[in-house]
Amino acid sequence: MSRDLVLGYQDGHSPLHRIDPLTKLIALAGVIVFAIGAPVDYNFWMLLGLFAIAPFSGVDLRTFLRPWSVLIPLWVPFILLPPVLFHLQRGMLGLANDTAHLSLLGQDFAYSRYGLNYGFKIAARGSVIGIASLLVLWTTHPRDLVQSMVQELRAPYKYAWAVFLALIYVPIVQHESQTRRYALDIRGVRYRRMSLRGLRLLAIPVIFRSLRRGFSTALSMEARGFGVSPRRVFRHDLHYPLHVGLIRLAVVAAAILLLGIAIASGRFAVMAQS
Amino acid sequence: MSAALALAPPVSAAAKTPEQGERGKAARADGERLGLGAVDFAFAEGEKTILRDLDLSIGAGERILLLGPSGGGKSTLLMLLAGLIPRIIGGVVRGMVRLDGIDTNRVETSLADFSAKVAIVMQDPESQITCLTVEDEIAFALENFGLPQSEIMARTDEAIARCGMAEMRDALVYTLSGGQKQRVAIACALARRPEVLILDEPLSNLDPVGSALVMPLIAETARREGSALVMTAHDFAGFADLFTRVVIIAEGRILADGPIREVLRDVALLREQGLEIPLFLRWAEAMLGTAMTEAPLSLDEAIAMVHRAGISPTLPPEFLPPPPTAPSDAPALIEVAGLGVSFGRREVLHKLDFRIRRHEIVALVGFNGSGKSTLALTLAGAIVPSSGHITVAGVPYRYRRGRQVGRGETPIGYVFQYPEHQFLHESVAAELRHGRPDLADAAITRLLGEIGIDDPACHPYELSGGEKRRLGVRATVLLSPSLLILDEPTYGQDERNRVLIEQDMLALHRAGTTIVVITHDMDLIYRMATRVMVLREGKIVADAPREVFFGGAVDLATLGLAEPPLRALHRALRKV
C-alpha cells in the first residue's frame, strides 16, 4: 500500500526533469533572492510565471494543487496577525493614522491597514518561494542533486548526503503520517490536526517513528560502508550535452537579472539599514 | 583491520575471568571468518545480560540456521556478529569477538573493518532503505566501497536480475510493498558478495514465490562466493536442506549447536522452546518416535525414513485435514461493486466486484505489491476509492473531505502490518482499555500475561516486534468487532505466539466475527480460512471456498502460491 506523495520527487521526463540539478538550484536561488528583495507587485508576476512553468514540470494538476491546502491555512496567521499586532503597537511603529475598522457579527474590529498589506506581502513572497522549491523538489532526483553537489560544487559527500537524506525523509515522514491517519480513522479516533490532542495522536508517534527510522537508516548506512572511503564513487559520471550548458548559462543570466531587479528596487538597502 | 592496530581495548570491551578468556581463544577454528569466545553482552554496565557466555565459530562456507524463541537474543547476536554492537548500538561486550582471527575487543577495529567483510540484512526492511530507487539502493554499498563503475553496474544488474526485480529497477522504494522492500534489502546484501552474510528473518514478509526465488539464490550466492551464511527464520520448512548447521539460542544462551540433522532430531527441545517445527519433522517424529535417528529435511525424506523403518505411513489425528466448511447462506456483510483505487496516475485496484458473507474467514493472498493492503484499508474505510461502492451491513460507505463517514453500527477492527501505527496510548494497559474501559486491573494483567507481556505500565513502543504484534491483535480482538481485518498477523512470530494469535482469531470467529486476513502463511490459510481470494496487479484472479481452492481446481503455482505443508503431506501419502 502506498500513495504518491506530494512532497517527494515525482518521476518523469518533463523539460524541467531534464534540466540538471545545479541549474535548477541556481534558478531557485535567483527566485528566492528576487522574492525577498523585489517589490511585492513583482512577486505576483513571479507567481504567475511559476504557474506558467508548472505544466512543463510533468506534475499532474492534482499534485500541483495539493500543497495549497497546506499553504493557504499557513498564510492565515501571517495575513491576520500583522494587522492586529501593528494596530496594537501603532504608537511605537508610527502608524497612528493607519487604523481601519471592520464590522463583523455586530462587533467593530480595529486593524492596521499597513499590517494587512504587510501580511499579504509575506504570503505572496512565501508562495513564490514555496512553489519554486516544490517545482525543484518534484523534478530533481535527490541522487542527481547529491552527485551534482559533490562533483560540480565539490561539496564533501557526507554533507551532500545529509541533504539527500533530508529530501528523501520528507516523503517518508509523509507516508508515516498518512498510515497513522488511516489507523486513527479506522479506530474511530476523532481529532483536529491543529489541536494539542491531534498533535499528540498524530505528530508525536510519527516523529518518534521517524527518529527511530533515522537511527535505523544511519545504522544501515554505516553497516554498508558509508564513510569508509574519503572519496565516494558514483556509478555514472555526470555528462551533460551542450544544450544543458547553454540552458545553465541562460539560467545564470536570468538569476543575475532577478538579483539586479531586487537590488535596484532598493529593498535590500532598506533591510540593511533597518 | 584498521591501520593503527592499537592495543588499547575499546570502551565497550571488558575483561573476563582468565578461564573464560582461555576458552574463548581455544574456540577458534581454522578457516574461521567470525567467532565468539565466552561472550557476554549487556546494553549498559549493571543492566540485564542479554547474551551469556556464547562460544561460536563461523567458518568459511558454513550455512548456519539460527533458531530461538522471540526475545531470545537472536537479533542481538546478529548485530554483535555484524559489528554494530558495540560500535553503533553501544553496550558492554565481554569476552572475545573474532573477525578473521583478530580479537576485536583487544585490537581497535572500526565498523568499516566489519562492513568490508560482513553484510547484514536486518529484520525490518523498511527501516534500512536509504535511497530512492531500487537501483540506487543496490548500488549504494558498492559505491561506498569505491568499486570501479563497471563492477558496480555489473553487480547491480546481476542482483536485480537474479532477485527478479527487473520491472521495478527504477521504482521508488518507498512505494513498494513490505515484501518487495525485503527483496531489495536481500539484493543489496548479495550484490556485496560478502565473506559473511547475516540475515535476520529475511523471508518473513515475502510471498511464497518471493521466498522460493530468494532462498536458493541466497544459498547459491553463498556457495559460489564461499561466504558463510548465518540466518534466523521461524518457518524454515521449505529450505531446511540448504543449511549445514543449526544453533539454538534462548534467553541469551546457546542451547544447541551442531549439524542440522542432529540438532533438529531433538524435537522435544524445539517444542520446549516454542519454536516452529516443520510439519514433516513433526510427522516423522509421530511416526518414528525414538527410532528417528536423524531429522529429515524435507517431506520426501521423512516419508522415505518411515518406509526404511518398515512402518506404514499413516495420518495421526493432529495431521488430519481441517473439517470441511459448510456452504454459507449467511447474508453479505460486505458488498463491493466496481471498486477502483488510484494513487495519482497509478491504478492500484481495478474494478473489483465481490461479496463477503457474515462469519466467513477470507484469506487475501497474492504477490507482494498486488494491492492487498490497499484493498484491506479501503474495506476498512481508510482509503477513499476512486470508483465503485462499498456497502457494509447494508449501509453504503459515504465519504466527505477525504474521509469515510456514516459507517453505521458495524465496528471494524484492523491489525496493521506494522502494529506501531495503531497504538494510541502511553501504556500497554491503556491500549487494551481503549474501547474497553470496563476491564479491571486483574483482567488486564491476565490478558497481558497470556501474550507474554509482564509490565502493564510499559509503553507499547518499548515492546519487541513480536510483542507489539500480539498486543495489536489482542487489543483489537477485545473490541469484538463485527469485521476483523488482519494484515500479516503471524509475521515474525514463533510457534508459541503464532498459536496464541490464531486462538484469538478463532475465538472471535466463533463469537460471530467475520475475518479478512492478509497472509503469506499457507498453512494458516489451509487450516483456518473458509474462502481464499487471490489478488494480482489489483485484480481478483481467483476466489473460491477453501475446499475448492485447495481441491485441485486452482493451479497454485500459476498464482504464485506454495502448497500448504499439510496438504502436501496428504497428497504425498495418497500417492504412497
Q: For B370-400, what is each residue's pLDDT tens digit?
A: 899 999 999 998 899 999 999 988 888 888 7
Residue A56 zone, left/alpha/beta (φ > 0; ψ -120 to 50; rest): alpha
Chain B, 358 to 377: residues with Cβ < 8 Å from chain A are: 371, 373-374, 377
Provide the Cα torsion A49, A51, A57, A63; round to 10°.
160
Residue B434 pairs in a beta bridge with none
Taking the CA of residue A105 and the nearest CA in chain B, the distance in Å comes to: 28
How far apart are the CA of B141 and the nearest CA of chain A, in angstroms?
5
Q: Which are the contacts of B150, defined by CB distance < 8 A and separation ≥ 6?
A: none
Of B144, B344, B422, which has the smallest distance from its Cβ to A183's Cβ? B422
Would you say residue B275 has pLDDT above 70?
yes
Q: What are phi and psi of B512, to 5 degrees?
A: 110, 5
Phi, psi of A12 (to 5 degrees): 175, 175
Distance CA(A86)–CA(A81), nearest Å, equals: 8
Subunit contact B139:A235, Cβ cutoff 8 A: yes
Q: Which B-chain residues 118-137 have CB contacts (< 8 A) with chain A?
A: 119-120, 122, 124, 126-133, 136
pLDDT digits (tens, 9 = 90+) for B467-477: 888 899 899 98
Better pLDDT: A200 or B53: B53
Q: What is the DSSP letter of A13?
A: -
Is residue B92 within 8 Å of residue B45, measured between CB atoms? yes
- Three-state DSSP class for A266? coil
The answer, yes or no, to whether residue A33 has pLDDT greater than 70, is: yes
Of the candidates A174, A132, A157, A149, the residue with the CA atom closest to the CA atom of residue A233: A157
In degrees to the nearest 10, what's the CA dihedral of B207, B211, B213, B219?
Answer: 170
Distance from C-alpha of B273 to C-alpha of B537, rounded to nearest angstrom:
40
Residues 6+ away with beta carbon under 8 Å from A103: A109
Distance from CA of B368 to the nearest CA of A (A): 10
Q: Where are the domains of chain A?
A: 11-141+239-274, 153-237
Which residues does residue B92 pair with via DSSP β-bridges, in sequence order?
B42
The pLDDT assigned to B576 comes to: 60
Least confident among B255-269, B429-443, B487-501: B487-501
Whether residue B143 is predicted with pLDDT greater than 80 in this model: the reply is yes
Distance from CA of B380 to the nearest CA of A (A): 6
- Fill in the DSSP letter of residue B107: S
Mean of per-residue pLDDT scores for chain B: 87
Q: Contact at 8 Å (CB) between B467 and B496?
A: no
Specify the pLDDT at position B41.
96
Tell me the pLDDT band of B222, cut-offs 50, 70 and 90. confident
Collapsing DSSP states into helix, strand and coil, what is residue B75? helix
User: Which range (A125-139, B12-26, B420-434) has the least confidence?
Assistant: B12-26
pLDDT of residue A3: 46
Label residue A274 by pLDDT band (50, 70, 90): low
Binary contact (A171, B343; C-beta < 8 A): no
- The answer to whether the CB atoms of A233 and B177 lie below 8 A apart is no
**In the predicted model, what is the mean pLDDT of residues B350-358?**
94
| ipTM of model over 0.90 | no
Residues 6+ apart with CB under 8 A from B48: B42
**Cell triple for residue B123?**
529484520
CA gap B130, A74 in Å, rounded: 31
Q: What letter does residue B172 receive in the DSSP assignment? A: B
The more confident residue out of B257 and B102 is B257
pLDDT average, residue stretch B158-185: 85
Residue B83 predicted with pLDDT over 80 = yes
pLDDT band at A11 (very low <50, low <70, confident <90, very high): confident
Q: Do A183 and B88 touch (CB under 8 A)?
A: no
Between B328 and A245, the more confident residue is A245
Alpha carbon distance A252, A257 (integer Å): 9
Residue of A186, A192, A217 to mutate when probing chain B, most B C-beta within 10 A: A186
Whole-angstrom distance, CA of residue B504 vs CA of residue B481: 12
Q: Is the pLDDT of residue B81 over 60?
A: yes
d(CA B120, CA B131): 17
| Interhelix angle A142-151/A21-37, nearest 10 degrees | 90
Per the model's pLDDT, the better-predicted residue between A152 and B228 turns out to be: B228
Share of chain B above pLDDT 90, in %: 52
Q: Do A186 and B88 touch (CB under 8 A)?
A: no
Quickly state the pLDDT bin for A211 (edges 50, 70, 90).
confident
B177 interfacial to chain A (CB closer than 8 Å): yes
Interchain proximity A218–B82, CB inside 8 Å: no
Instruction: Considering only the beta carbons, identify the residue of B88, B115, B423 that sits closest to A228.
Output: B115
How confident is the model at residue B408, as a pLDDT?
A: 56
Instruction: For residue A153, give the 3-state DSSP assignment.
Output: coil
pLDDT value of residue A5 = 55
Q: Is B71 helix (H, G, I), strand (E, B) or coil?
A: coil
B409 confidence band (pLDDT: 50, 70, 90): low
Q: Is the pLDDT of residue A270 over 80?
A: no
Indicate the SS3 state at residue B378: helix
Enumerate domains of chain B plus CATH numbers.
60-85+110-272 (3.40.50.300), 279-315 (no CATH), 332-411+480-575 (3.40.50.300)
For B155-182, what is the mean pLDDT?
Answer: 86
pLDDT band at B261 (very low <50, low <70, confident <90, very high): very high
